[in-house]
Structure 1
Amino acid sequence: MNKILLVCYSFPPNPGVGGRRWAKFAKYLVKASHYVEVINAKLSTDDTSTWNKDAQLLHESNNVHSLPTRYPEIIKKTPDTYFQKIQYRLSLEYLKIKVKGNMYDKSSLWHLNLVPFVVDKLNEGFDTIICTAAPFHYLSQISTLKKQFPNVNFIADFRDPWANNSISYGITDLNP
């Protein structure tokens, strides 16, 4: 029996289509007698996924772990008030200092919570880790663990071939 650790930012109950494919894959991996645990982003929304039923088995066995992203909420929306615009600009400056690469990548600060949690899980004997993206930033952080865990299979799933599109993921809507 394989022990698989799946890292999927948007895995249900998070809304959106990003976790759909892996919710279905994870369900069938469990049915095929693989042990699967999932790490997803803990989002600050009450919306739920259309694919909760596919992830139900994992949730019932407490195998879904939601970790805070540390990404500023104000950056995820267009600011309306003067105070929000100031907050947005300050958050942008913070991200410029803290993030190497695309500061609009919602997972750019997630590694601060994610990597230590993944290390703990890999020490529990997981033999495969699957990371699915977008967002992409956390993939580079997880890949650095390969040296520490050479016997673990690391799989990166780039599910969005159009990710280098400048209008993807609402980037053009993020400017105030």
Structure 2
Amino acid sequence: MTAAEPTSAEQTTTELHFRPAVAADVPALVALVQSAYRGEASRVGWTTEAHLLEGQRTDEAAVAELLGRADSVVLIAERVGALVACCHLERRSAAAYFGMFSVSPAAQGGGLGRRVLARAEEWARAEWGATEMEMTVIEQRADLIAWYERRGFARTGVFEPFPYGDERFGKPLRPDLRFEKLVKSLA
């Protein structure tokens, strides 16, 4: 644990602060997303994809592009001034797309993810009038899909192919990856 990361006691007693990301946050966001999903650091938490993919999850250009899009926001969650979680929201008609959801591996398992998801839902309703939230999850992530189902998301049976050959999204370790669309009513 680094000096910037709060202890377990601090995590439960320290206020969580949410704000939209700005350009200066891009390097820290990339590091957080990478640590939550890829490489050895990700194996500390339960959201790792290291058994399915290696390489990068995102890069600075991709995150900066999200920050520059209309109808797009990256929400940051901070404790004691340290970035502990984030998510990306994008308005899509009456729905909001939810993605790039990342919680620091050291902070996983204590309810932080539920709080970030709830804040994202509030943002989508209040700022955009969204009546639905949608996302895609790698189909082979049964534990993650079950977590979202416990929070009101439903599997749709709609699938999208994994972008094989595009190393911006990582190097697949198996040939059968695909995304499933999940949807939740916000009404």
**Normalising by structure 1, what TM-score?**
0.30
User: Which structure carries more strand by proportion?
Assistant: 2
User: Which structure carries more helix by proportion?
Assistant: 1
